[in-house]
A = this chain, B = another copy of it.
Amino acid sequence: MALIVQKYGGTSVGSPERIKNVAERVARFRAQGDQVIVVVSAMSGETNRLIALAKEIAQNPDPRELDVVLSTGEQVTIGLLCMALKEAGVDAKSYTGGQVRILTDSSHTKARILDIDEAPIRRDLEAGNVVVVAGFQGVDERGNITTLGRGGSDTTGVALAAALKADECQIYTDVDGVYTTDPRVVPEARKLDTITFEEMLELASLGSKVLQIRSVEFAGKYKVKLRVLSSFDDRGQGTLITVEEDQNMEQPVITGIAFNRDEAKLVVLGVPDIPGVAYQIIGPVADANLDIDMIIQNVGNDGLTDFSFTVARADCDKALKVLETVREKIGARALKSDRTMAKVSVVGVGMRSHPGVASKMFRTLAEEGINIQMISTSEIKISVAIEEKYLELAVRVLHKAFGLEEGAASV
């Protein structure tokens, strides 16, 4: 008998029919003797419908009240799923975030979970109930309804698994696991049986949007066994996200290849090469709430240097506006921007102990005539910025070069 947390996203509960399917799967786990906690999102489309209603009232709806409105989406799903479970002969009880209670801070629309009162859940489980909890929501200490931000249901699932020391947290989605890269770009992409939390974080933040990043961090921190599965295919085992590296001899150096099409490069030319200048440039951009990705400062020359970084393409104009003020203030020569950038990253914990990954990556791209414009590295990742038109080609040749389709890497 295991204690399992299952989280179902909006597509998996997108219609009464699909909710019944979820109830049937849960019933099978119960029949095996498992205790099950189910976390659900709003039915697909519902959150957008509610946001649209709010936007008709106010361009910038009051955050506290927006949370009151948005949290109803998951509340509908927990009620419907419990009805379906009871129809399937399974005892079930629903909880909103406030009822559990999932205590968060008061940052409406992006609250963080502080504590979960697991006692009532434990009691219900022991009484033979399936416990169905609304994802994405909680309450602050004064009882105000909060939400965790988009994708927050994953975090709810992991937090419940951590609080109740569940044997596994299963995230059901519309893909059957984590792949070496996007199968739409590389048809030979292979589903991974396991991946480490660190690798998952790098892959997720780089564009393989299977799981919400925060939930992966959370799972890593509290050592929750996390598994990504398809809710439309009962056969596979999905991908298990583990704390430990795979101890096999023939461990692959590279686990996967992530990419992001949506980058823009900004260059500040002729920057005085003095201490603090990086902060003077990046500070105002960050203050304008623009996410900065790769940052490169060239070696100075005649006391001047060039400073480059990338932002999401949609933020390019806003960033340029901020930079123009900065340029005048610090006396830089000029600004340049390029909106046709893409980023490709190879990710793998194996590269810690295997030198030569970077040189292999650069050689592979050079052989195809792909110019690398920026490079950034971490312990388990190497990212390069290239022209967008070469993106698919780059991903395909790297996927092949690192032997990902065969299940074993060679440097």
Contact = CB atoms under 8 A, between A and B. Distances in A.
Interface of A: 16, 19-20, 50, 53-54, 56-58, 61-62, 64-69, 71-72, 75-76, 78-80, 82-84, 86-87, 93-94, 96, 98-99, 143, 145
A99 to B, nearest CB: 6
A83 B98 CA distance: 21
Greatest chain B CB density within 10 A among A83, A93, A94, A99 is at: A83
B68 A53 contact: no
Nearest to A17: B56
Contact of A62 (B54, B61, B82, B96): B82
A61 B78 CA distance: 13
18 contacts: A54-B80, A58-B83, A62-B83, A64-B82, A64-B94, A65-B78, A65-B79, A65-B82, A65-B83, A68-B75, A68-B79, A68-B82, A68-B94, A68-B96, A69-B75, A69-B79, A98-B98, A99-B143
A80 B99 contact: no
B99 A83 contact: no
Nearest to A23: B57
Contacts of A78: 65, 68
A16 B53 contact: yes
A54 B68 contact: no
Contacts of A64: 82, 93-94
8 smallest CB-CB distances across A and B, nearest first, come from A69-B79, A68-B79, A16-B56, A72-B72, A65-B82, A65-B79, A57-B83, A61-B83
A86 B80 CA distance: 33
Nearest to A61: B83
Given A72-B72, A79-B66, A57 B16 contact: yes
A58 B75 contact: no
B72 A75 contact: yes
A80 B62 contact: no
A84 B56 CA distance: 10
Contacts of A19: 57
A65 B94 contact: yes
Contacts of A86: 58, 62, 65
Greatest chain B CB density within 10 A among A65, A71, A75, A94 is at: A65
